[in-house]
Amino acid sequence: MVDLRRVDDHSKSGSVGFIDRRSFMQTGLRVGAAVALTAAAGATALKLHADDTVWQIDPGLCVSCGLCETECVLLPSAVKCVHSYGICGYCNLCFGYLQPNQTEQNTAVENQMCPTSAIKRTLVEGPYYEYRIDESLCVGCAKCVKGCTTFGNGAMHLQIRHDVCVNCNECTIARACPTRAFSRRDAATPYKIKAMGSGKEGT
């Protein structure tokens, strides 16, 4: 029996905290944080054998339809937004974070994309901001994913969090998903995180 409950702190909180300019520009924060996210493998609320399988989303197939929020047997959904720092532009005008049609660009709640204010942003320096997902607030609605994918690098994407998911035999979201983005994968590598360089998922 393998206890897969270990959760990487970066991936759980979605944050590496405040970043000074030297760290950001010189020590390759983007690479480091991407690796931290990728290391999210292994977290689950269940005790699983390493050769068990779990459900996961292929972010390359997801079209942000919104059903991940409403079709899960859990409320809130076990699907959460995950942020890949390795492919994030650290943009000031982030369309995962801000509504695209706001008349004044400011971070008032009504201008934010996220309906639960789960996306937190921290100034790095100059025009660069770090975006962190508070998964305790995320309902998996994919609004930020749609904005980030349409106008940005697609750094924000959805994953089933295995510290929450109860690993149903038949995932109700998988059944409803219009693009068949769900599949079973090894419990030892339960995430498909978008990776640096390829813009596609990694493990």
Residue 187 interacting with ligand SF4 (CB under 6 A): no
The stretch among 23-31, 35-43, 65-73, 123-131 that binds ligand SF4 (CB under 6 A) is: 65-73
Provide the token pair at 99.
Answer: 């509504």
At 194, give phi and psi (nearest 5°). Answer: -60, 135
**DSSP character string of the chain:** -EE-----HHHHH-------HHHHHHS-HHHHHHHHHHTTTT--SSEE-TT-EEEEE-TTT----SHHHHSSSSSS-SEEEEE-GGG----SS-TTTB-TT-SS----GGGBS-TT--EEEEEEETTEEEEEE-TTT-----HHHHHHHHHS---EEEEE-TTT----SS-HHHHH-TT--EEEEETTS---EE-TTTSSEE-
Mark 88-117 with x for binding to ligand SF4 (rule: CB under 6 A) and - for no binding. Answer: -------------------------xx-x-
Residue 43 interacting with ligand SF4 (CB under 6 A): no
CB of 36 to ligand SF4, least distance (A): 18
Q: Which is nearer to ligand SF4, 39 or 168 (CB)?
A: 168
CB of 187 to ligand SF4, least distance (A): 13
Q: Which is nearer to ligand SF4, 38 or 56 (CB)?
A: 56
Identify which of 88, 60, 49, 96 has the alpha carbon closest to the alpha carbon of residue 192: 60
For residue 166, give Cα distances in angstroms to 45, 105, 158, 183.
7, 40, 17, 15
The stretch among 17-25, 34-42, 86-94, 159-167 that binds ligand SF4 (CB under 6 A) is: 159-167
CB of 141 to ligand SF4, least distance (A): 3
Subset of 112-131 contacting ligand SF4 (CB under 6 A): 113-114, 116, 118-119
CB of 19 to ligand SF4, least distance (A): 20
CB of 79 to ligand SF4, least distance (A): 6
CB of 87 to ligand SF4, least distance (A): 16
Which residues of the shown chain bind ligand SF4 in the complex (CB under 6 A)?
55, 57, 62-68, 72-74, 78-79, 81, 113-114, 116, 118-119, 133, 138-144, 158, 160, 165-168, 171-173, 177-179, 181
